[in-house]
Amino acid sequence: MLDKLKSIREQTLKQLESVADAGALRQIESATVGKKGEVTTILRTVGELPLSERPAVGRLANEIRQELEAAIAAREELIEAQALAQSLEEGALDVTLPGRPVAVGRLHPATQMLRQVYAIWADMGFQVYRSRDVEEDEINFTLLNMPPHHPARDMWDTFHTTTEGVILRTHTSPGQIRAMREYAPEPIRVILPGMCYRYEQITARHEMQFNQVEGLAVGRNIRMTDLKGTMAEFARRMYGEHLQVRFRCSHFPFTEPSMEVDAECALCEGKGCSVCKYTGWLEIGGAGMVHPVVLQNGGYDPRVFSGFAFGLGTERIMMVKHDIQDIRAFWANDLRFLEQF
Ligand code: DAH
């Protein structure tokens, strides 16, 4: 019996040396010093041995139990320490690494430009008036002095909806009629910004959608000089204080007289470059005195009231300021373009 005990000890200690996980350790424990383990069983049955053998077997079995329990505990500690070291190593967090940058969104360049334009007109007392993108043919054309079959309609290539007489607005000018009908006979000073749509061949210079900012001032004694001064002030604030502005005769059905407003090219300061096509001048928009028929359609008596109006293409302004060669870049959703602004 003593030999058996000794061999249990030898064998168990040897096994313990190589055991590497907690589960295997538990198995060894229960096979030896556990409730039904070999050593425990021997201890429990000492009483059945011949009297002479009992003290020696009992003592040795107790010794071995203690020795094995201690060895198991030591091994357990070691296994735990190893597991901890391993998990620390695997899940190591290097706090000295640089953080991951968080991508911050920003406004689309076209929106940034619109807001710059609003700010300038706000300084001059113009409020933003929102008008609709889906417009009636009558308001987009007829009430702006372009009756059906009027050749002037050819200037605007139009998207039609499946509803007769309902189109996508080709310019922001119909908002003039809506604003006038809302405010008449009060004086008006508004800008009407927003997306316009034209059924166009898309090229580097032409898109089928683009933003315009329309302006409208209606009141008593509003004159051409007011329009010229206002446009010149806008151009100076938008492009630079020292730049000249010029006005060219033009034609729009909804204004009389009508003109085209140019500013000296901000890039070459009038000397001539590729952006201004070597003319030294950049077109910034159309403008004119509101046509009496349009005033009347808006609900104002043209014998008492007068007004001026203008229309600016804001993507064009952005293209000039940043030397953007292709208007299609605005709606192509290419981050390499958008992230520059
Ligand atoms: N609606 C014109 C266009 O889209 C621009 C324009 C010209 C607006 C003259 C005006 C104006 O208000 O007076 O081409």
From atom 10 of ligand 1, which residue's Cα is the shortest distance away?
310
308 CA closest ligand 1 atom index: 13
Ligand 1 centre distance from Cα of residue 75 (Å): 89
Q: For the chain, give percent helix, strand, coil, nearest 5.
A: 45, 20, 35
Contact 311 CB / ligand 1 (< 6 Å): yes
Q: Given a cut of 80, is residue 152 above it in pLDDT?
A: no
The C-alpha torsion from 196 through 216 and 311 to 318, rounded to 10°, is: -90
Q: What is the mean pLDDT of residues 291-313?
A: 98
From atom 4 of ligand 1, which residue's Cα is the shortest distance away?
171
Q: Given a cut of 90, is residue 214 above it in pLDDT?
A: yes
171 CA closest ligand 1 atom index: 4
Ligand 1 centre distance from Cα of residue 317 (Å): 15
Task: Tell me how far the alpha carbon of residue 340 is from its chain's centroid.
Answer: 13
**From 146, 310, 315, mutation site for ligand 1 pocket: most ligand atoms within 8 A of C-beta:** 310
Average pLDDT over the chain, rounded to whole?
92
pLDDT digits (tens, 9 = 90+) for 86-128: 888 888 888 899 989 998 899 999 999 999 999 999 999 999 9
Q: Determine the pLDDT at residue 276.
A: 83
Q: Determine the pLDDT at residue 312.
A: 96
Q: Determine the pLDDT at residue 5.
A: 85
Ligand 1 centre distance from Cα of residue 312 (Å): 8
Q: Determine the pLDDT at residue 231.
A: 96
Ligand 1 centre distance from Cα of residue 288 (Å): 8
**From 200, 214, 231, mutation site for ligand 1 pocket: most ligand atoms within 8 A of C-beta:** 214
Instruction: Give CA–CA dist 298/178, Å, rounded.
Output: 7
Q: Determine the pLDDT at residue 155.
A: 78
Q: Determine the pLDDT at residue 226.
A: 98
From atom 6 of ligand 1, which residue's Cα is the shortest distance away?
311
Instruction: Give CA–CA dist 131/121, Å, rounded.
Output: 17
pLDDT digits (tens, 9 = 90+) for 303-341: 999 999 999 999 989 988 888 989 999 999 999 999 999
Sequence-ordered list of residues with C-beta below 8 angstroms from that of 31, at least 6 positions apart, any chain: 37, 38
Q: Given a cut of 80, is residue 275 above it in pLDDT?
A: no
Q: What percent of the chain has pLDDT over 90?
A: 57
CB 222 within 8 A of CB 306: yes
Instruction: Please return the burial class of 21, using the count of CB atoms within 10 Å of its CB with bins 0-12, 13-18 and 19+.
Output: exposed
Q: Given a cut of 90, is residue 149 above it in pLDDT?
A: no
Q: What is the mean pLDDT of residues 206-231?
A: 96
What band does 284 get if pLDDT is binned at 50, 70 and 90? confident
Least confident residue range of 153-157, 229-233, 248-252: 153-157
Terminal CA-to-CA distance of the chain, rounded, Å? 90
Instruction: Give CA–CA dist 153/147, Å, rounded.
Output: 8
Q: Determine the pLDDT at residue 175.
A: 98
